[in-house]
Amino acid sequence: MKNYQAYLIDLDGTLYKGDEHIDGASQFISYLNQHKIPHLYVTNNSTKDPEEVATKLNKMGLVARADEVVTSALATAEYIAEESPGASVYMLGGSGLKHALTDKGLVVKEDEFVDYVVIGLDEAVTYEKLSTATLGVRNGAKFISTNQDVSIPKERGFLPGNGAITSVVTVSTGVQPIFIGKPEPIIMRKALEILGLERSEVAMVGDLYDTDIMSGINVNIDTIHVQTGVTTKEELELKPVPPTYTFKDLNDVIKELQS
């Protein structure tokens, strides 16, 4: 396997599942840190601030900094702020999304009379929240979703993801949102911009083909699939464009890098 100058790394299903550490994750990050290889954690999870993500990783023995975290919330806020500075937003989601939006000078409101409706993963979603989002889109607000993941890996199993919540508003209004997170190029371009390297020097590491691997394919960088999350090795064989590499876990990636 090629030794890359930098890596973009998924979190859920690649480094951990919920609060469970995945074997090989801390060893891989330690290898990158010891060899001073730049890396960014690129996650579709919009519920947490980068500081919270870094804290979780550190508690699991994965030495990480907040400035190494690129969330779909950050990419969403930047996208809206560049397109319409100071715009008003109705959002579903956690504190990570709200902080990202307000930090970019956007105005978060609690009614349907807004410029944008943004859907992020909301573990306290209610019918009233979905109703307000639906009315906002029907009133002409631009419809944005942080990501299209229909399920997320947790300790209990695969639970409804942001894409599942987004689909309620989509079905009700007939309006398709603009998706920001993986596999869309928007979040990946942001991460590549931060690294400042040629695309041939960067690889995307992840478990889920439809988001992680396709996100790399969509911006023409190599991809490293690990069989620790959603997509199995057998399922990869049915995909029209395979990942550049696939490994059982990150321990095997380290062995390959050291060989």
- Is the pLDDT assigned to residue 154 strictly greater than 80? no
- Is the pLDDT assigned to residue 89 strictly greater than 90? yes
0.95 exceeded by pTM: no
- Domain extent, residue 239, equals 6-44+182-258
For residues 145 and 228, membership in a common domain is answered with no
Residue 222 labelled as part of a binding site: no
Residue 12 labelled as part of a binding site: yes
In a domain, 61, yes or no: no
| pLDDT grade for 147, boundaries at 50, 70 and 90 | very high
In a domain, 32, yes or no: yes
Q: What is the mean pLDDT of the chain?
A: 95
The arithmetic mean of pLDDT across residues 232-253, rounded, is 95
Judging by DSSP bridges, how do beta strands 107-108 and 88-92 pair with one another? parallel
For residues 134 and 192, membership in a common domain is answered with no
User: Residue 15's pLDDT is what?
Assistant: 96
Say how far apart CA 223 and CA 208 lie, in whole Å: 11
For residues 156 and 208, membership in a common domain is answered with no
User: Residue 17's pLDDT is what?
Assistant: 85
User: Residue 11's pLDDT is what?
Assistant: 93
Residue 249 labelled as part of a binding site: no
| pLDDT grade for 53, boundaries at 50, 70 and 90 | very high
In a domain, 173, yes or no: yes
User: Residue 20's pLDDT is what?
Assistant: 87
User: Residue 123's pLDDT is what?
Assistant: 92
DSSP string, the chain: ----SEEEE--BTTTEETTEEPTTHHHHHHHHHHTT--EEEEE---SS-HHHHHHHHHHTT----GGGEEEHHHHHHHHHHHHSTT-EEEEES-HHHHHHHHHTT-EE-SSS-SSEEEE---TT--HHHHHHHHHHHHTTPEEEES---SEEEETTEEEE-HHHHHHHHHHHH--PPEE-STTSHHHHHHHHHHHT--GGGEEEEES-IIIIIHHHHHTT-EEEEETTSSS-HHHHTT-SS--SEEESSHHHHHHHHH-
The residue out of 125, 154, 179 marking a domain boundary is 179
User: Residue 177's pLDDT is what?
Assistant: 98
User: Residue 159's pLDDT is what?
Assistant: 87
User: Residue 195's pLDDT is what?
Assistant: 97
The residue out of 162, 179, 196 marking a domain boundary is 179
Number of domains into which the chain is organized: 2
In a domain, 193, yes or no: yes
Q: Which residues contact 6 (CB under 8 A, 6 or more apart)?
A: 37, 38, 39, 40, 195, 197, 201, 202, 203
CA 114 to chain centre: 25
| pLDDT grade for 76, boundaries at 50, 70 and 90 | very high
User: Residue 155's pLDDT is what?
Assistant: 72
For residues 193 and 235, membership in a common domain is answered with yes
Q: Are 89 and 194 in contact (CB under 8 A)?
A: no
The residue out of 179, 203, 225 marking a domain boundary is 179
Share of the chain above pLDDT 70, in %: 100
- Is the pLDDT assigned to residue 12 strictly greater than 90? no
Residue 109 labelled as part of a binding site: no
User: Residue 152's pLDDT is what?
Assistant: 78
In a domain, 67, yes or no: no
Q: Which active-site residues does the annotation give?
A: 10, 12
For residues 130 and 148, membership in a common domain is answered with yes
For residues 197 and 248, membership in a common domain is answered with yes
User: Residue 256's pLDDT is what?
Assistant: 94
The arithmetic mean of pLDDT across residues 161-167, rounded, is 95
User: Residue 70's pLDDT is what?
Assistant: 97
* CATH number assigned to the domain comprising residue 34: 3.40.50.1000
| pLDDT grade for 209, boundaries at 50, 70 and 90 | very high
User: Residue 69's pLDDT is what?
Assistant: 97
